[in-house]
Amino acid sequence: MFKTPLYTYDAAFACENPYVAVKAAELLNKGVNAADLAVFISLGLAVSIPHLGGIGGDFFSIVYNRDNGSVKVVMGSGYSGKFSSIENYVSHGLESMPKYGGAAVTIPGLVDGLRVLWRAFGSVEWEELVAPAVNLCYEGFPLSRTLLKGVRHVLLNGTPSRAFNKVFGVLAELGVGERIRFKGLGRLLELVREDPRNFYEGDPVEFFVDVLNDEFEIFSVEDFKNYRAYITEPLNIGYKGFNIYEMPLNSLGISTLQLLKLNEAVGERPPPLSLSRLKYYLQLFKPVYIARERFLGDPRYLKVSIEKLLDIDFLVGLDGGLGRVFDGDTTFFCVADEKYVIGCIQSLFYPFGSRVVDTKYQVVFNNRGFSFTFDKACVNYLAPNKYPLHTLSAPLLKGDGMVYVLGLSAGIYRPQLHLQLITNLIDYGMYPQDAIEHPRFTWDPETGVVRFEDKYRDISNLEFKAQAVSYGSRLGVGSILRIIDNTISVYPDIRGEVFPSGR
């Protein structure tokens, strides 16, 4: 065991920035509840690690009410622009979805997702939760290793724009821990503090639209004004005495549930740190990723019911292409108090998203639209005001006198790692800190390459392409939160900069 869990009875959380965790602990001691704290942590991460979870991205959360046992999901996923049609993109010389640029952007859902979370579950005034994030922008915060690494990666491996260099490129010459400020973002958050809808209906909107339409017309002001995040019901399956809840489409939560159902149906339980476990899970992955490519996307466009997508016979009978792979990166955090258990996940998709940067408010926009396809045989084809198939999700487990919420970064590989974490806990009965630190592996459905952390034993004479990576690599960065006998415990990942705290 490399990191020490946190145990408490009142409230606890974990997030991927130690300085934000310090400020969150200060706010927690002022008497806010778990939902309130989640709003600040999300905005604090948007400020401090903007390349992963910036304000120009999306936000999802799963909320368990300890009083009545209900589970709800906040869906803060944005949609494509009014002029985001295949025909429009093709007329401007595009043969497929671009990875970067305004054409890869969807409306950012994060701010309205936080508004919806706060209105449904919060306890204090909105202004009290945004003000500390404004202070971070103006007073500054320590430059993290992960942000500095992300900036340098773009500068070395891409062709950053003048706007990117102006806002982020200047950080490359600094050292980890040096104080940095984002005063433009502070001005935007001041408007958001007055009213979260100012992000979508206030003065910044026309500026955002002009920036995003720089190459050709994609968005309208109405795309922002009409956008609303919403609350909905989770997906839910039974699994070995637990109820497993996941976020519904357009998230990728259903893929986690599909993997669990296949695993329970087959019933194998190879040793946890063995080649046989790795090979067995590879068999489970393939039909789930075929289903993802062909049948998943905006729920308004589904051609196959959710019930059928979770049917074992349907899954094992699938054959076909496995589709594109998206690297992506994300930040997950979890919060709990006497009433709520909340898992939150937010992302721009790729580090620095579309790399479209607004120099006035210092917003870097997501590239969630990159996941769309031009192939109308797939559910996830590009169309105006359509939700893309998302990679974000976070499961909640309830059973045997316990509640868990867990999550991690991983992009398209997230369901694979969720399967490993959940089976570590339930099938193998691991202590949660051992479960989160256990070596991991991922399978690339496009290339067939398996990446595994080098603590796996007896990995020789492989029947597939494989790549060993050092243990503790960024094969997902996450945390597990558990409640048992009114004790709240948080288990931080050895990977990344996850920091737990509480009251």
Asked whether residue 344 falls in the same domain as residue 322, the answer is no
Residue 158: its pLDDT value, please?
79
Asked whether residue 155 falls in the same domain as residue 300, the answer is no
Q: Is the pLDDT of residue 325 over 60?
A: no
Asked whether residue 345 falls in the same domain as residue 214, the answer is yes
pLDDT category at 27 given cuts 50, 70, 90 is very high
- Average pLDDT of the chain, as a whole number: 95
Residue 255: its pLDDT value, please?
98
CB 480 within 8 A of CB 406: yes
Residue 458: its pLDDT value, please?
65
Residue 464: its pLDDT value, please?
76
**Low-confidence winner among 70-74, 124-128, 399-403 (lowest mean pLDDT):** 399-403
Residue 164: its pLDDT value, please?
96
Residue 484 Rama label (left phi>0; alpha psi -120 to 50; beta): beta
Kindly state the tokens that stand for 129: 């939760």
- Treating both helix axes as pointing N-terminal to C-terminal, what angle do 34-48 and 126-139 enclose, rounded to 10 degrees? 20
What are φ and ψ of residue 9, in 5° steps?
-115, -15
Q: Starting at the edge strand that comes first in sequence, how are the strands of the sheet with 487-492 ordered? A: 6-8, 487-492, 478-484, 402-408, 396-399, 242-246, 235-239
Within a domain: residue 306? yes
Residues 6+ apart with CB under 8 A from 31: 124
Residues 6+ apart with CB under 8 A from 414: 252, 256, 330, 391, 392, 393, 408, 476
Asked whether residue 283 falls in the same domain as residue 134, the answer is no
3-state DSSP assignment of residue 13 = strand
Within a domain: residue 494? no
Within a domain: residue 147? yes
Residue 310 belongs to domain with CATH number: 1.10.246.130
Residue 321: its pLDDT value, please?
59
Q: In this predicted model, what pLDDT tens digit does every residue of 155-183 receive, in sequence order?
A: 998 789 999 999 999 999 999 999 999 99
Residues 6+ apart with CB under 8 A from 210: none
Residue ending a domain, among 355, 371, 387, is: 371
Kindly state the tokens that stand for 154: 């773009």
Asked whether residue 88 falls in the same domain as residue 119, the answer is yes
State which amino acid sits at residue 10: D
CB 174 within 8 A of CB 80: no
Q: Is the pLDDT of residue 468 over 90?
A: no
Question: d(Cα 126, Cα 82) in Å, to the nearest integer?
Answer: 31
What are φ and ψ of residue 148, in 5° steps?
-60, -40
Residue 301: its pLDDT value, please?
97
Q: Is the pLDDT of residue 467 over 90?
A: no
DSSP secondary structure code for residue 381 in this structure? B
Asked whether residue 304 falls in the same domain as residue 250, the answer is yes
Asked whether residue 320 falls in the same domain as residue 227, the answer is no
Within a domain: residue 399? no
43 vs 466, residue with greater confidence: 43
Asked whether residue 275 falls in the same domain as residue 139, the answer is no
Asked whether residue 204 falls in the same domain as residue 314, the answer is no
Q: In this predicted model, what pLDDT tens digit does every residue of 35-69 receive, in sequence order?
A: 999 999 999 999 999 999 999 999 999 999 999 99
Mean pLDDT over 376-389 rounds to 97
Residues 6+ apart with CB under 8 A from 213: 102, 219
pLDDT category at 327 given cuts 50, 70, 90 is low
3 vs 226, residue with greater confidence: 226
Over its C-alpha atoms, the chain yields an Rg (Å, rounded) of 21
Residue 460: its pLDDT value, please?
64
Integer angstrom CA distances of residue 216 from 67, 236, 367: 51, 42, 16
Within a domain: residue 496? no
| Residue (of 75, 100, 88, 56) closest to 384 by Cα position | 88
Asked whether residue 93 falls in the same domain as residue 187, the answer is yes
Percent of the chain scored above 70 by pLDDT?
97
Residues 6+ apart with CB under 8 A from 429: none
pLDDT category at 454 given cuts 50, 70, 90 is confident
Residue-range definition of the domain harbouring residue 341 = 6-231+329-371
Q: Residues for the chain: how many in total? A: 503
Question: d(Cα 135, Cα 414) in Å, to the nearest integer?
Answer: 33
Q: What is the DSSP string of 305-354?
A: -HHHHT-HHHHHT--S--------EEEEEEEE-SSEEEEEEEEEESTTTT
Asked whether residue 319 falls in the same domain as residue 227, the answer is no
Within a domain: residue 493? no
State which amino acid sits at residue 198: N
Residues 6+ apart with CB under 8 A from 431: none
- Treating both helix axes as pointing N-terminal to C-terminal, what angle do 34-48 and 18-28 enclose, rounded to 10 degrees? 150
Question: d(Cα 42, Cα 54) in Å, to the nearest integer?
Answer: 9
Residues 6+ apart with CB under 8 A from 226: none
For the chain, the domain total comes to 2
CB 56 within 8 A of CB 366: yes
3-state DSSP assignment of residue 71 = strand
Q: In this predicted model, what pLDDT tens digit does every residue of 98-112 receive, in sequence order?
A: 999 999 999 999 999
Asked whether residue 149 falls in the same domain as residue 131, the answer is yes
Q: In this predicted model, what pLDDT tens digit does every residue of 243-295 receive, in sequence order?
A: 999 999 999 999 999 999 999 999 999 999 988 899 899 999 999 999 999 99
| Residue (of 492, 440, 445, 429) closest to 470 by Cα position | 440
Within a domain: residue 392? no
Within a domain: residue 396? no
